[in-house]
Amino acid sequence: MNIKEIRSDRVGESYFEIDHPSGLKIFVYPKEGYNSTYAIFGTHYGSIHNSFRKNGGDVITVPDGIAHFLEHKLFECEEGDAFARYAKTGANANAYTSFDRTCYLFSCTDRFEESFEILLDFVTKPYFTDETVQKEQGIIGQEIKMYDDSPDWCCMFNMLSKMYEHHPVRIDIAGTVDSIAKITPDYLYSCYNTFYNLHNMALTVVGNIDVDTVLSVADRMLKKSEDNTVESFFEEEPEGVSDHFVEQKMPVGLPIFNLGFKEKSDRLLTTEEIAYTDILLVMLASQNSPMYRDLLDSGLINSSFSHEFFEGEGFCVTIFGGESREPEKAAEKIKEYIRKTKEQGLDPEDFEIAKRAVYGENLAAFNSVAGIANAMMDNYFSKRELYSYIEAVANATFADVSDRLNTLMNEDKAVLSVVRS
């Protein structure tokens, strides 16, 4: 077993990266003086992984929403519901599925080993029957209908549906009522046995914990897993967008908009590119930015205005959005401001302010056990390292961020999504 300590002089802390004999990558981040512990057990498997091949075999295509369906079903096992087991230890448990990962987590202040055993046990012991699958189809069907009634959710996925013609990022993470109706125990076992291989997974534990305690449970609970080769397949995606505007009528107090830009996505971004992007977006759209103040003073946005950047296998998106009485005018003003900034260049003083803000926010995040655990998982599945991000922010130059501006937010690849009554 290989155990490596990774230290950051800038943060003044360290964590341990462990290659466990089972095949699982384990990260342990002790936080001296903390009362709580937070653990995440995740697999690099999300809603976009619907077409895949295992060990060079035949390509398998499964119904949309199956990763999310699996997340729900794993909590139910022959011994009983995992949440009921957690209730006895006092741990707070949850799970989530995103575009490219599924994670199971808990937090606790005591009885860590018991809660940790529950986590490793139920995630590694699938149990699916026709009866339980049919029951879950009804439950998730109601969840899908709930999201169909969410203006913010619809606004984003309407935008993605015009931005991507084929990539499954355009499809709701939970799938559709029709797609989940096609899910069977055979499909679930096929996906589980492909993606819930320990070589495709990771474990992060942060807080009032030490390596020996984590390994004592992991050694006892985890069996050696044979490494699988998994390939995911995506249809070739056009560079452009299918439409620049999409609108949906829903009962909302104020219209909601997402102005999204489809970015180049031929690879996962480097840590430095992520850091430069974050600084840039704070410069452009934070509450201290000239664009934000101008939009607010013009009455085109309110305090709900926000920005977001996310990327994964085959997709990369920059989004500005919120409530607006005149979403088309707000979007035009944002595009005009970006256009003007590209022509005239960024302001060096704004760069220094934004860099300090991003640095300070991310340094403060090391006070959160949940924040660290999630960041470690995100970085591992994105082939990046936790401390390298804050180093990239600290070392970012004005030229770095200016160059990044020139590669992002092309108006030819913009989509405005509006939801209004």
Relative to beta strand 245-249, strand 414-420 is parallel
Chain centroid to CA 417: how far?
Answer: 21
Nearest to 96 by CA among 29, 174, 152: 174
Tokens of residue 279, six digits:
């600084």
Partners of 113 in the β-ladder: none
Which of 5, 13, 32, 71 does the annotation list as catalytic? 71
Nearest to 41 by CA among 125, 110, 147: 125
Tokens of residue 274, six digits:
């992520």
Catalytic-residue membership of 143? no
**3-state SS string for the chain:** CEEEEEEECCCCEEEEEEECCCCCEEEEEECCCCCCEEEEEEECCCCCCCEEEECCCCCEECCCCHHHHHHHHHCEECCEEHHHHHHHHCCEEEEEECCCCEEEEEEECCCHHHHHHHHHHHHCCCCCCHHHHHHHHHHHHHHHHHHHCCHHHHHHHHHHHHHCCCCHHHCCCCCCHHHHCCCCHHHHHHHHHHHCCHHHEEEEEEECCCHHHHHHHHHHHCCCCCCCCEEECCCCCCCCCCCCEEEEECCCCCCEEEEEEECCCCCCCCHHHHHHHHHHHHHHHCCCCHHHHHHHHCCCCCCCCEEEEEEECCEEEEEEEEECCCHHHHHHHHHHHHHHHHHHCCCHHHHHHHHHHHHHHHHHHHHCHHHHHHHHHHHHHCCCCHHHHHHHHHHCCHHHHHHHHCCCCCHHHEEEEEEEC
Residues shown for the chain: 421
The CA distance from 75 to 95, in Å, is 9
Report, as residue numbers or ranges, the catalytic residues: 71
